[in-house]
Chains A and B, each alone.
Chain A
Amino acid sequence: MASSGDSGPASRRPRAAGKALYGGLPEPGPPGFAPRLLELADELRREGLAIGTSELLDAFHALEQLSWTSQEGFREALAATLAKSQEDRRVFELVFDRFFFRAVEREAVERGLREERYAGGDRLDFEELRERIREAVRAGSDGEMRDMARLAIAAFGRQGEGSGVIGVDVQRIRRALELRGEAGGRDLPDPESVPQDRLREFERHLRRELERALIERTQSLPPAKPLREFDRALPSGPLQDLAAVHRVVAQLKRRLATRGHEQGGRRRSAVVDVRRTMRASLETGGVPMRLRFRARRPRRPELYVLCDVSTSVTSASVFFLSVLHALHDSFRKLRSFVFVERISEVTDVFERERSFAAISHAIATDAGVADVSGYTDYGRVWLEFLAEVVDDLDPRSTVIVLGDARTNGREPHAQAFAAISERAGRTFWMNPEPRLYWNYGDSVISAYEPYCDGVFECWTTKQLEVFVNALAGGRGAPAAAR
């Protein structure tokens, strides 16, 4: 970034011009360093970090100990004092980058700084540029990638006539550059492809440079958008997700195992144990002075999980399978079923295989999922479950259904489901669709809902946690969740 002195009078612009056109800059806060830091903390709070006064004081103390010229030190010191978990740290990184990017851009707009950009794309050899960018992305040097991102925008971005939506522009430029991420799996890598994470990094640079150009052009800062769920999730890889699911399920196990011990009020709905009461009455000469109660047995965590694996829940079924996978790691008394049009038991697949990839493969190929038409038939699934399994159900078992309740217009057979839930102690439904879409189209979740102890929206580990917490609350909680 050039300093204001030598940027030349031509690049200076009166601030008011941009302001009138595009709404200009948001009002600046009070000047100085401390208010900036408070603004940052405020933005972090808005993203859900718990930052108290003591954290802020720590942050100030920490910064006092450091030379303020070291950028890494500054960032690390703030992170160590403000972000207190791995997830927080991730959000912190994103917000920190956004905050200071905006701060710098605002400064630039205020002072009327403009960067010299390489405008004419005609003198560039596109093939050569592509090759150089690919090299840079593979090498992964930060500065180099940024320079290349600028070049790419100059060459393919058609300055000034972009779509106006940055995400679209980024993808268009990426396609123009013929950049492809490496496909997973064991195939020999395509020589043209680049590692996935580097590619994402490069896209980030592209996005940032485009934003910068947009701010410069319009002389205004767009309002800061909250982070998307997608961004703030930890850099995924199904493996990490799997680990998170396993963690939550471990919690679920503890909750289920201890239930019954803490069911509110020790004596409520207790049953008098006649034999023991008579025995105890011997002490008092045969007069039953003290009642003895039957010991309440804790609920055996006996689980029946039914998982929809049809195409309408494709995106969620990986998540569901990983939930199942994790459940099998934790529970011994667990029977799992998958269904599309008909139901089939896959308990033994999970017991035989441990690797998640192997399990999904086995289920996809030979679990015997009777998938004639590829359309889910919930009604038929209940009837079959009722015929084959229901005798094993007892009041101490818990049935969990993972599915979107989209019957493709077939008879839902809610009565059959009611019979199942009658036999089972508790029935829960986890729906991978946002609540907004329930009961639209062929979704018949409302037909089943009255027979469940709880219906939950569930497609992230966070929601899985909500489910687990509701479970811990016992029968009272689902009503609140509804």
Chain B
Amino acid sequence: MQDGLGAVGYLAAESTALVAFLAAKLGKPVLVEGPAGVGKTELAKALSRATERKLIRLQCYEGLDEAKALYEWNYRKQLLRIQAESAGAGWEAVQEDIFGPEFLLTRPLLQAIEETDPVVLLIDEIDKTDQEFEAMLLEVLSEFQISIPELGVMEAKSLPLVLLTSNNSRELTEALKRRCLYLWLDYPDIERELEIVRLHAPELSETVARKLVEVVHLVRGLDLKKPPSIAESIDWARALIMLGADDIDSSVFERTMSIIVKHRTDLDVVAERVGVKLDDGLLGRLGTG
């Protein structure tokens, strides 16, 4: 599994690969938590590429309801049908008619279990929704079925691989956690992040890449509103390539740090704390020491 993920450009840690493997084997959803920008969403994308399954994504937000997540009746089409048939047909017949699969608008969750080929279902930022929505998910996640009052129970035609991500902005309910495997993704250590950066920006020289990763780790250690994510270190690496920089000194850092630091107050803190260390030449020693 680790190799499979690696082949599609996602360098997974041992534990990540293992949990993904277990999820596929046991048919259990995985709850992935971790700080923003450690590649939770990316993991789902990588999984879909590695297993060559289609990715269906449900982005959660406050106020998301079942009409947007599960299914909705195609009201206009139902109306048209009623008008077309109004003459002649009895009440019973029309009622039978308009609550058929034909008039169902599938939303991501229903779509995921309707597919004949297994898919990867990503339920992104589940912590943004309300508790009621979580409760509604339980049926889908444990039984892989959806009950539609007018139609009966829709059972999954194939078992999707489900990933739920959360930024931990609120505590999820026990019931949901109970049905999931749990994976905590954290920022990678220096070596792994170096690998990741090298994979996505191979033109950058080894020494600069190492220094870059060390600086990013240093910045993450500060008390910032938004610490830099992995994607941002990759962006930074690419920017350095474009600028043709062959070293990160304080002037290069000054000009490019807006790529990894996105908050005005953070900028001041970082400029003050990191700029000094770059000049002292303290950073080169971090990796070797």
State the A residues within 8 Å of B (CB).
Answer: 50, 52, 54-55, 58, 61-62, 65-66, 72-73, 76-77, 79-81, 83-86, 88-89, 138, 186, 239, 242, 354-357
B178, A65: Cβ atoms closer than 8 Å: no
A274 to B222, CA, bound (A): 58
A76: B residues at CB distance < 8 A: 14-15, 18-19
User: A73-B18, A76-B19, A85-B182 are known contacts. Are A355 and B223 too (CB-CB below 8 A)?
Assistant: yes
User: A58-B26, A61-B26, A239-B223 are known contacts. Are A84 and B18 too (CB-CB below 8 A)?
Assistant: no
B289: A residues at CB distance < 8 A: 138
Besides A62-B26, A81-B22, A89-B184, 20 new A-B residue pairs in contact (Cβ under 8 A), listed by A number: A61-B26, A65-B26, A72-B14, A73-B18, A76-B15, A76-B18, A77-B22, A83-B182, A84-B177, A84-B178, A84-B180, A85-B177, A85-B182, A86-B184, A88-B182, A89-B182, A186-B276, A239-B223, A354-B265, A356-B223
A80 in complex: contacting residue of B174, B182, B221, B276, CB < 8 Å: B182
A80, B183: Cβ atoms closer than 8 Å: yes
A138 to B33, CA, bound (A): 31
Cβ distance A460 to chain B, nearest Cβ, rounded Å: 17
29 contacts between A and B (CB under 8 A): A58-B26, A58-B28, A62-B22, A62-B181, A65-B25, A65-B26, A66-B18, A66-B22, A72-B15, A76-B14, A77-B18, A77-B22, A79-B15, A79-B182, A80-B15, A80-B22, A80-B182, A81-B22, A83-B182, A84-B31, A86-B184, A88-B182, A89-B182, A239-B222, A242-B223, A355-B223, A355-B269, A356-B223, A357-B223
A239, B182: Cβ atoms closer than 8 Å: no
B: contact size bracket: 20 to 34
A85: B residues at CB distance < 8 A: 33, 171, 177, 182
B222: A residues at CB distance < 8 A: 239
A77 to B1, CA, bound (A): 14
B25, A80: Cβ atoms closer than 8 Å: no
A55, B178: Cβ atoms closer than 8 Å: yes
- Assess whether B21 is interfacial by the CB under 8 Å rule: yes
Which single residue of chain B is at the shortest CB-CB distance from A75?
B15
Cβ distance A179 to chain B, nearest Cβ, rounded Å: 16
A239 in complex: contacting residue of B30, B31, B221, CB < 8 Å: B221
A355 to B184, CA, bound (A): 28
Cβ distance B21 to chain A, nearest Cβ, rounded Å: 7
Cβ distance B22 to chain A, nearest Cβ, rounded Å: 5
